[in-house]
């Protein structure tokens, strides 16, 4: 674990969101067209649907950082022939964005601009794990990233999770930070 002297790293440029995006980009490396129908840890979603969702989430985060608001119902997305390429393009756009907003609107809720990046890092990291499970690579969320996201997760998770998020599950005994993080978001680590 890294030693921290002044609290967690900033979630914006050079911080958690960028690390989470790096993880999801590594997770999509092995994805091939014949894998898109594979099941994922996200109930009722195959890998193709999950890739489309992550791409939409990256686009929504980019809009939130750029405009200061995030639509809770995404605009109808055009179908893409290559969801991995679409995800990569959106990831690069988000990496280039900087949130200068003090406050961001998400539907009828408001949150500090820095928390948008935390929410994005949490979503992107956990979905990177989901993608890695579907590809059977089984990459864990990097321990340092998960260790920093764990105490921040309650700041951005809604009190009422259903139907958007699954409830927490018990992590395995002696689970590392990555397994504890995915368990917090309703995934069952295999270890």
Position 122 in a domain: yes
Mean pLDDT (the chain, rounded): 84
For residue 128, being part of any structural domain is answered with yes
CA distance 103 to 159: 20
Overall domain count for the chain: 1
Tell whether the model's pLDDT for residue 4 goes beyond 80. no
pLDDT of 61-90, one tens digit each? 888 888 777 766 555 555 678 999 999 999
For residue 109, what are the domain limits? 16-158
Q: What is the mean pLDDT of residues 51-65?
A: 90
CATH code of the domain covering residue 131: 1.20.120.450
Tell me if 53 sits within 8 A of 164, measured CB to CB: no
Q: Is the pLDDT of residue 185 over 80?
A: yes
Which tokens in the block code for residue 142?
């990097």
Q: Parallel, antiparallel, or unpaired for β 69-70 and 103-106?
A: parallel
Q: pTM for the whole thing?
A: 0.86
Is the distance from CB of 146 to CB of 125 less than 8 angstroms?
A: yes
Q: Which of 94, 95, 114 has the alpha carbon at shortest distance from 104?
A: 114
Residue 21 belongs to a domain: yes
């Amino acid at each position: 674990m890294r030693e921290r002297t002044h609290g967690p790293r900033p979630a914006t440029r050079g911080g958690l969101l960028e690390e989470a995006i790096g993880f999801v980009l590594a997770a999509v490396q092995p994805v091939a067209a014949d894998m898109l129908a594979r099941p994922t840890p996200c109930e009722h979603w195959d890998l193709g649907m999950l890739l489309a969702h992550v791409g939409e989430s990256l686009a929504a985060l980019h809009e939130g950082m750029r405009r200061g608001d995030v639509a809770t119902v995404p605009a109808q997305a055009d179908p893409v022939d290559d969801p991995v390429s679409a995800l990569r393009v959106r990831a690069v756009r988000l990496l280039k964005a900087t949130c200068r907003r003090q406050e961001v609107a998400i539907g009828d809720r408001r949150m500090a601009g820095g928390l948008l990046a935390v929410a994005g890092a949490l979503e992107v990291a956990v979905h990177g794990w989901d993608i890695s499970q579907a590809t059977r690579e089984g990459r864990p969320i990097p321990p340092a990233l998960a260790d920093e996201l764990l105490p921040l997760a309650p700041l951005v998770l809604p009190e009422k999770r259903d139907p958007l998020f699954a409830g927490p599950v018990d992590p395995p005994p002696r689970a590392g930070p990555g397994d504890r993080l995915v368990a917090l978001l309703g995934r069952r680590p295999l270890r």
